[in-house]
Amino acid sequence: MASFNCRWILSFFLIATMALFHQAIASGYYTTPKFKAMPWKLAYATFYGDETASETMGGACGYGNLFNSGYGTATAALSTVLFSNGYSCGQCFQIQCVKSKFCYKGFTTVTATNLCPPNWAQDSNHGGWCNPPRQHFDMAKPAFMKIAQWKAGIVPVMYRRVPCIKKGGIRFAFQGNGYWLLVYVMNVAGGGDVASMWVKGSKTGWISMSHNWGASYQAFATLAGQSLSFKLTSYTNHETIIAYNVAPSNWHVGMTYQAKVNFH
């Protein structure tokens, strides 16, 4: 009799657990533990552009006008090692100047929006600051000026990954056409990054999207005239969320659509 009761309790527990899981799916997301700040590490930082940060617009991540996409001037280009073939796009970093007479106290927080490419014509310790295996931040000048005097040129820094604090849901900027959908993913909270992505039309199942470059994903599928949902998995902590009915059936390329969910 006791064995029967144990089996009954275990079955009830499994059924209840599955019910909660499906309820989480239906609500639009299911999640692993929240992203937490990582330990401090040593790197170096320079800056590019001027005080207007006009030269930082666009960039390898594909965010376009950084003011319109919500990133502003608190941005940085990452060296090849940190950029991770674009999977680091959207990650947030606290950066603090150290061991230099040009340092200011405190730190600033920036988002990765660009790649600082290698300069093989220069030595890694003399001009080729972004050459592998160096960990380096080429910051927008307004961001650099929050941690050090700009005349320093290059300074040693301590940095760490931190959660990205964003308002509202993830945004999806559409390019392509009805047969090839290219989506730029922006306003990503939590770890700030995306490892994999799927799209679902109102007449299709889930379709895996391939990583194009930076923060963009693509699907070669006939999706015109269908409302679109997206499923995304975080690159850093593997959290997965589902954003249902992000775009209406009359969606257009050149438009940006915002979900009601985001990473944690």
What digits encode the pLDDT tens for the residues 7-59?
544 444 444 444 433 444 434 444 445 888 899 999 999 999 878 777 788 78
Exposed (0-12), middle (13-18) or buried (19+): which is 140, by Cβ within 10 Å? buried
Q: Which of 22-36, 133-147, 174-188 is predicted least confidently? A: 22-36
Q: How far is CA 12 from CA 17, 44, 213, in A?
A: 9, 56, 46
CA distance 258 to 22: 24
CA distance 144 to 75: 9
**Residue 144 CB contacts under 8 Å (≥ 6 apart), including other chains:** 45, 46, 47, 150
pLDDT digits (tens, 9 = 90+) for 70-79: 899 999 999 9
Superfamily of domain 41-162 in CATH is RlpA-like domain (2.40.40.10)
pLDDT digits (tens, 9 = 90+) for 196-228: 999 999 999 999 999 999 999 999 999 999 999
**Residue 15 CB contacts under 8 Å (≥ 6 apart), including other chains:** none
Class of domain 171-258: mainly beta
* pTM recorded for the entire structure: 0.85
Please report, for the chain, the start and end positions of each structural domain, with discontinuous segments joined by +. Answer: 41-162, 171-258
pLDDT digits (tens, 9 = 90+) for 234-260: 999 899 999 999 999 999 999 999 999
